[in-house]
Amino acid sequence: MADKPSTPLLAKVVGLAAAAAAAWVASQVVDRSWQAARGHKPPKAEDPGDAGLSEILAAAALTGAVVAVARVFATRGAARFAEHAKSDPDIPDLTD
């Protein structure tokens, strides 16, 4: 079995943080956009409200799509950072 190339620990941490931050920002953008367009926040699972099924599905699909796209861009950026980190002698490789 071929060994995977090692990724510096710093790059992994940055990738995780970037993906989490991107997901949070994307969720906030969807919430505020929904509020501006519909006059209320999108329905959530824990809400006891009387939102219709179509509104629940639309909110879930929109939120999921925006969060997924944001995480892809964050992950790609982190991968570029990892490539840079591998070639930069000033960034320590903590995988050893």
Please report, for the chain, the start and end positions of each structural domain, with discontinuous segments joined by +.
53-88
pLDDT tens for each residue of 46-55: 778 778 888 8
Distance in angstroms (rounded) separating the CA atoms of residues 21 and 27 = 10
Distance in angstroms (rounded) separating the CA atoms of residues 85 and 92 = 8
Mean pLDDT for the stretch of residues 60-75: 92
Residue-level pLDDT at 36: 96
pLDDT at 4 over 70: no
pLDDT tens for each residue of 31-42: 999 999 999 889
Higher-confidence residue of 10 and 21: namely 21
pTM of the predicted structure, to 2 decimals:
0.71
Distance in angstroms (rounded) separating the CA atoms of residues 43 and 31 = 9
Distance in angstroms (rounded) separating the CA atoms of residues 44 and 35 = 13
Distance in angstroms (rounded) separating the CA atoms of residues 87 and 25 = 30
